[in-house]
Structures are given as structure tokens and as C-alpha cells.
Structure 1
């Protein structure tokens, strides 16, 4: 009553105009209704800019040197240099039958995962399957991807996640004619489906795969590709049909983990050059604003003398994709998987390479071509 009477006491005889804000409930204290706004990338970026300027002002006022590069870096929630220095190794205990949802309790903030180049080695029409190793040699890697709506941070259920990567020696199976990826005239590579497959997200928004740690190849950091399809349906031949690509992205690994993995056979037999994360333009693009490096744990945490863990039992890795559910990304497959095996796309990205994708690019270093011949 006193609160209601206060305006009259303060201004006797004056009729206060009633504003809309006076109708808001006095007990509202939560900002949950603002979650959409607070998670918009532009809002996050602006907040970081303001905090960065304030931090620089305080440092100057206290006589602390303010590095110009640090001020520049403060314009982003994260940048690729800071992301590359984070240790993504987790002390979580992982088991084959664990609740995958528990992995994401520390999986990072819900920020839009930057969409990056699809790459020229995508095969459309791969089967829905969890184990995509095809019994190839390599470090076992179970990968869990959680898909969330970056505006609401709600999980996205019943989506389909399509992943693909190179094998332990840096070769993409399933595509013919890409420079450095085997004999460009050998069509048998089109029969393979190794490290390619599709999985639906569950009621936690999680899709998981039994895969292998990818091998390195020249020009790119070690990575795995992923497309998130919305509105697709399972077809009778165990593939997906329809829908749209709401997200096209790539995920990466800690540099020290890559270095350690490359000492293990058959990765150690790969003579192609290693490109560091920070030297990969697509990693820099994906890590300026978010963190595209997976968190991981060794399945067998027994440490070796270097403390890297036991690779023989494999790795468990997880990452969260914040996606824009309204997006519809263009997808241009290099090949299609059919009942008769793989068929190259005559209008795909490899077909458009100089030389038609048959033999590689003109000017491809002769030393590289000779090295490829030696490996064969």
C-alpha cells in the first residue's frame, strides 16, 4: 500500500501518467526471458568489446603495459591463437555405456559454431551407421557431437549428422582424382566408405560415431568434416533423403595430441607434411569467435612416461555445435554413394579442378608427385 501511495505523496494533486513498465510483475527477477538476446553473436561480441576496453583502461591507469595485439584480440570472444593454447584434455572417466549427455556439462558456451567451407571431398548418400571404421587400422576414436540451437541453447533432436575424414595415412576414401589422394586413375577408391557415415541426434541432441583419429595431409590441419541436416528422413536403403543442411563445419584437435598420435603406427608411416592448426586458414576462420577443438579423454587413462595416455585403447572426444536452425547451406558433393558404389559428381568440386580432377592441379609440386609414387 505504501508503494502504491508513494507517487501521490510525492506529487499531491498531480495525476501520474501510467507507463507500460508499471504493469510488469514485481517478483520478476530472472533474466531467462533474455537468453535469446544474450546468446546472439553480435551481443556477445559487443559485450566483449566493452569489457576489453575497460580492462585496457584499468591497466593503463595502473601503469601496466597494454599490448596493442591484446587490445585487438579483445574484439572477439575468442581468437584462433588463444583457442590453440587451450588444453582440451579432460579428466572425465569415459566408458562405452555412459550417458553421453554428461560429457557436455563443460562443453563450452552456446555460441554459433561458424559455418566454414564444406571442402571438396564430401560424398552424399552415405549410410546411417555408428561404426564407420570398416576395420581399418588406426587409433580408435569415439566422437560425440551435440547439436543445439544457438539462439535458445535447446538441444536439436531428430537431426542427422553426416561426418567424413581422412584415414590414418591422410587419404580420403571414396573420392577419385583429388591431388595427393592416391592414384587419380584408380576408380577402386570409389568403392570405399571408410570414415564416412550418418547418425541421428537423440533426445539429448547427441549423435555419436565409432571412428578413427584422422591422419594428416599437406595443406590442412588434422580435422573432421560435419554437416547437420534438418528435416531429413531415413530411406528404405538406410540413407537419408530430403531435408536441408543447416550447418557445415569442421572440428579439430589439440596440436600436442596430433604430434603424439603421429608417432603411432600407421600414422608414423605418413610422409606428407603436417600443417599446424594456427597455419590452417579454415581453422583460423572457425576459431575466431568460437572453439572448434574437441574435448577429449583417453579411454585407458593409464599414463605413459610423457603423460599422454594409452592410444591403444583409443580416445573419446566430444564437441557442441551451436547451429542456426533457419539456415540452408549449399552442399556440392564430390561424389554420390549408390547401390553400385561411388559415382563421381560430374558437376562437383573435383570436376572443376584444373585438369578435371584427373591427375591433380597443374603446377602441383614435382617433389610431391614423386613422393606419392614412392608410397605406391
Structure 2
């Protein structure tokens, strides 16, 4: 069975100051920044309404539906004002037992839709520069497989963004990030994890602004709900070692899953081996920041690919990017030709990025302890 999509969850990014989140750190917004954010949110809402109409007339939706039908089933939505409670109360599961490979497009997409407004994003302390361009980032890690379908559009022109490089990373089933050794990130005695690359990768969008990853459902660690980290790069240079350098960053953010799905996944092995207390979406500061007082719904829509979670999930989201925005994401580690190196810094590219191989020796196994990253 194969599936489709149209203009669905639209994640709009605002040009407000970027927050780099480290454990225990909280930054306050000044009054001017708050006013700027509210003004941009209203402007963005009007822009999204314009884009929704244009997507219907320029064939954008039709192409998206045809593409995602080959993966599974998706549905159409309309812009609505949301707040954190609205997002928490909404199920993002697309579940219709009457849907088959022969179901008409009208039936598949005869449901309402939501555009997503994401006013700011947080990098977290464990962004690793120099990751490899690749679509399958699982590297043999155990967990619930995910087909991650993301689509990027220009919020000003409502057109897909071609040749954008989508950078994604998340922890493994027991709450451990690859590419680093740090307190709160699994077994600090496992120095091989510094050279590991699991669940990190970069992909270039096609002519419809689309990119897909084969990844795994993230686990959890202390103080944070389940999430993926995402960065959008523009105008980069691709190096001979299959990595990127230069260009600009137009978006940094985090994406989430429904809480009931998280509980279901966490009840399975190896997720259940992690005894760290689960932080829910409702109690997660970043989730609240990205949904409160806006039209934001940064939760992936999804469909189950089989009768059991082990069969995997298809998750999708559409991200509307302000291509004139430019952020400078800090990083804690760099993946170099010699392996991982601890080298915190800003967004400069005066480092030896990349590696000639796609394998990392570290497993990064074991549940994370208290004080994990953001």
C-alpha cells in the first residue's frame, strides 16, 4: 500500500532571536522582541492564508499528494489559531481503516488541516557540525523505524525551496546522542561514542522542496520530552567527502510527537530499558515555547505502517521558511576526518568538517542520566 499528501502541517519560522538552550538555562525576551514577534506572527498568518490558496492553484498540493501516496495516507488542513492546549489535545494520527491503495484523492484529503507557526527554535548543546549527506541514518540502532517526510516552502513566494539542506538529529531509544561524550549523555566511559554518527544526517531537497530520512523514533532523557532537532541550510558548498560547508542557516527548531504515541513507544524494548522519568509534552519548556500564544503545531502528523509499532511509522511536516532569516547555531562538537572533536563555537566554518566514511565505532548505548541536553 502507498500513500499521499497535500499542503499539510505548515511550520512557519519567524525572524526572532535564536535561543541556544543548555540544561538549566532560561533567557528572557525583552519587550521589543515580544512586540516584534507578535507583529511577525500576524504578518505570517496572513501570508499563510495567501499560500494556502496558491498551493491549490499552482499544482503544489497535487504533487505533494502524489508523492506521499507512495508512502501512505495524509490529509489536508486549513489555518487555525492554536495554543499549547490545542496542540496537546489534538491527535496527529491519520487512521482510517477504509483507506486502500485504490481510495480516491478526494476521499483521502477530505479532512481539515493545520498550518504551524514556530516563532523560535532552540539548537540545544549537542549540534555536531560536519555530518554526512545521507538518507538512512539508523546505523543498526534498535527502535521503532520512522520514514520522516519534510517539505520546505518559501513563506514569501509560497514556492518550494529546492536545494535546501535539511540537517536532522535526535537521541537513540535509550536517550543517548551520538558524536559526543558528556555528562548526562549515556556512559561517559564510552569514549567511542565521540566518533559515532547514528541518527544524524543531512539531505538536499528536490524540486518540490522535499526530503526524506529513514530514522528511528527518539527516546527520552531527563528534563525533555521526545523530539527531533532540525536545521535548514541554504546556499551551501558540498565537499568531496560528502559533507557541507558555508552558506547560511534559515531555520533552527525542534519537532515533536503525540503524547499517547510516545507512551506506546516507550512501553516497547529498548525504550523501556531507560528508567529516567519521562517528561511529557505538557511539561516540556521547549514544547510550550513553540506552541504558546501562536498558531504553532510543531507535532508531526503520522500514520502507522502496519499493525504493530515494530512495522514503523510515516511522519510528515511542511516547513515554511523565511529565506532571508539567518541564524548562527552554536555547536559543541565537530565530526572531522579524524573523528569527533569537542570544539564549541558559533556558525563559522573554519573547522575541518566531514569524514570520508559514514561509520562510527561507538554504540552510545545505555540510558542517559540526569541533566541531559536540550
CA contact (8 A) 2:118 2:291 kept: no
Match of 1:117 among 116, 122, 146: 122
Going from structure 1 to structure 2, the CA distance change for 1:323 and 1:369 (only over 3 Å counts) comes to: closer
Q: Which residue of 2 aligns with 1:170?
A: 175
Deviation for aligned residue 1:182 = 2.1
How many angstroms apart in 2 are the aligned matches of 1:267 and 1:206? 30
Q: Which residue of 1 aligns with 2:337?
A: 339
Q: Which residue of 2 aligns with 1:98?
A: none
Q: Tell me the alpha carbon deviations over residues 137-193 of structure 1, each in whole angstroms, 9 at most, x when there is no partner.
A: 11101101111122332211110000000000011111111x321233542111100
CA contact (8 A) 2:186 2:369 kept: no
Match of 1:298 among 297, 304, 327: 304
TM-score, normalised to structure 2, is: 0.67
Q: Which residue of 2 aligns with 1:183?
A: 187
Which stretch of structure 1 is more off in the superposition, 107-116 or 118-127? Answer: 107-116
RMSD across aligned positions (CA) = 3.0
Q: Which residue of 1 aligns with 2:29?
A: none
Q: Which residue of 1 aligns with 2:33?
A: none
Going from structure 1 to structure 2, the CA distance change for 1:346 and 1:116 (only over 3 Å counts) comes to: closer
- Structure 2 SS opposite 1:143: strand
How many angstroms apart in 2 are the aligned matches of 1:104 and 1:247? 29
1:281 paired to 2:281: no
- Structure 1 SS opposite 2:331: coil
CA contact (8 A) 1:112 1:150 kept: no
Q: Which residue of 1 aligns with 2:230?
A: 226
Match of 2:143 among 138, 141, 155: 138
Q: Tell me the alpha carbon deviations over residues 297-347 of structure 1, each in whole angstroms, 9 at most, x when there is no partner.
A: 1111x3xxxxxxx11111110011121100111111111111111111154
Q: How many residues align?
A: 272
CA contact (8 A) 2:328 2:346 kept: no
CA contact (8 A) 2:331 2:344 kept: no
Q: Which residue of 1 aligns with 2:8?
A: none
CA contact (8 A) 2:92 2:299 kept: yes
How many angstroms apart in 1 are the aligned matches of 2:100 and 2:215? 16
Q: Which residue of 1 aligns with 2:41?
A: 41
How many angstroms apart in 2 are the aligned matches of 1:242 and 1:277? 34
Structure with greater helix percent: 1
Match of 1:128 among 126, 133, 138: 133
1:147 paired to 2:147: no
Q: Which residue of 1 aligns with 2:247?
A: 243
How many angstroms apart in 1 are the aligned matches of 2:204 and 2:112? 20
TM-score, normalised to structure 1, is: 0.67
Going from structure 1 to structure 2, the CA distance change for 1:128 and 1:272 (only over 3 Å counts) comes to: same
How many angstroms apart in 2 are the aligned matches of 1:345 and 1:313? 39
1:216 paired to 2:220: yes
Specify every segment of 5 or more residues in structure 1 that has no aligned partner in the other structure, as ranges. Answer: 1-38, 48-75, 96-102, 303-309, 350-367
The structure number with the bigger radius of gyration is 1
Q: Which residue of 2 aligns with 1:312?
A: 310
